[in-house]
Amino acid sequence: MSDLEQQYAQEAFDSNWVAPLGPNVDAFEHEFCDRVGAKHALALSSGTAAIHLALILAGVERDDEVLVSTLTFSASVNPVIYQGARPVLIDSERASWNLDPALVVEIIERKIRQGKLPKAIIPVHLYGQSADLDPILGICQRYGIPVIEDAAEALGATYKGRIPGTLGWAGIFSFNGNKIITTSGGGMLVSEDADFVAHARKLATQARDPAPHYQHSEIGYNYRLSNVLAGIGRGQLRVLDERVTTKRRIFDYYRQALGDLSGIRFMPEAPWGRSTRWLTVITVDPEQFGATREDIRLALETENIESRPVWKPMHLQPVFADCEVIGGAVSERLFRDGLCLPSGSSLTENDLERIVDVIKACAR
């Protein structure tokens, strides 16, 4: 937290707006739109809720197919299941570890030949870096497939000078505690489409029809962000650029300290944009390095330092075992060899030195 969050949250207390709606929510939505260059934004209780609403309004229903990155957090896929639809899990490419556009084009054309147009696609922008969106947007526009960008991990990133999360039909962001800025829990849905966001707003507020009494003509959800938490979000938004700078500085430290070690590589920064380096992620070649990524993780754990393997691909998850998967070798390798290093913006130089020393000691 910076100094501003408490001030905005205090305003909610002082004005007694301790409700799921209020001036902080409106201001947070406006300020968020200004920051990312979106037309309309809807503050929600989570990024997962934002994906769910986008799928509902894309008309995703039982047995529809939705294309999703396989290398992601389960929250990208779960809402597809909430709708009774079928995720089609697609592998990554190597330049950014994100959705492989060539595979996307191939699978969409195959699905169309088979007479089954995918109902939506969810490209994920992983670990602070944009996917290669243009080819994906191109084919989806051609066939009218709504693109729902999962930018939960990529607030602050760029793609060819534009902002990932604002380039598809819908974009979602997360303010969960582990994200680059946080409201403790929260999310945002953005779009250029005013009617879509207005309808999402209604669904997120228990789908109340405009009437003096309580009247409902569709099923609603309780998905709004509270006015107190939106106050925290307003303060956090003001330090976003600072956070990106800090994250990139942490990455540079690791790269300077570890970059020369044989068998250690860093998540590449693709030429199409700037990554926030939300997390610093390495891959470990055990032959060259002399230890596996799991050896490193355990050595860090012994020193009470938490690190995590790269996301386990969704097609390897027991709960999604029955889903169709397209490719998979790239994400499987990244899961096997990839390790997310401690990347919190409050890490001190001293902390980083300790971490680096443990990793170096694992080398042959």
Rounded to 5, what percent of the chain is helix, strand, coil? 45, 15, 40
**Pairing mode, strands 324-326 and 86-90:** parallel
Q: CB under 8 Å to 141, separation ≥6 — which residues?
A: none
Q: Which CB, 84 or 177, lies closer to ligand PLP?
A: 177
Q: If we measure between CA atoms, which residue out of 153, 97, 91 comes closest to residue 277?
A: 153
Q: Residue 325 corresponds to which tokens in the numbers above?
A: 């998967």
What's the rounded Cα separation, in Å, for the pair 216 and 202?
10
At closest approach, how far in Å is the CB of 118 from ligand PLP? 19
CB of 174 to ligand PLP, least distance (A): 3
Contact with ligand PLP (CB under 6 A) among 76, 96, 236, 343:
76
Residue whose CB is less far from ligand PLP, 47 or 328: 47
Of residues 11 and 91, the one with the C-beta less far from ligand PLP:
91
CB of 222 to ligand PLP, least distance (A): 14
Tokens representing 144 are 């009218």
Q: Does 149 bind ligand PLP (CB under 6 A)?
A: no
Which span sits near ligand PLP by CB under 6 A: 135-143, 150-158, 225-233, 251-259? 150-158
Please report whether residue 152 would count as binding ligand PLP according to CB under 6 A: yes
Binding positions for ligand PLP, 165-224, rule CB under 6 A: 174, 176, 187
Instruction: Report the SS3 class of residue 174.
Output: strand
Establish if 236 lies at the interface with ligand PLP (CB under 6 A). no
Q: Which of residues 3-62 bind ligand PLP (CB under 6 A)?
A: 46-48
> In 3D, which of 76, 71, 122, 47 has the Cα closest to residue 281?
71
CB 154 within 8 A of CB 164: yes
Q: Which residues pair with 88 in a beta bridge?
A: 67, 324
Distance in Å, CB of 191 to ligand PLP, minimum: 17
Mask 111-130, x = binds ligand PLP (CB under 6 A)? Answer: -------------x------
Give backbone dihedrals phi and psi of 326, rounded to 5 degrees, phi first.
-115, 115
Using CB under 6 A, pick the residue from 73, 196, 254, 320 that binds ligand PLP. Answer: 73
Could you tell me whether strands 170-174 and 86-90 are parallel, antiparallel, or unpaired per DSSP bridges? unpaired
Nearer residue to ligand PLP within complex by CB, 174 or 289:
174
Size of interface with ligand PLP, in residues (CB under 6 A)? 14
Q: Are 224 and 230 in contact (CB under 8 A)?
A: no
Q: Which residues bind ligand PLP (CB under 6 A)?
A: 46-48, 72-73, 75-76, 124, 150, 152-153, 174, 176, 187
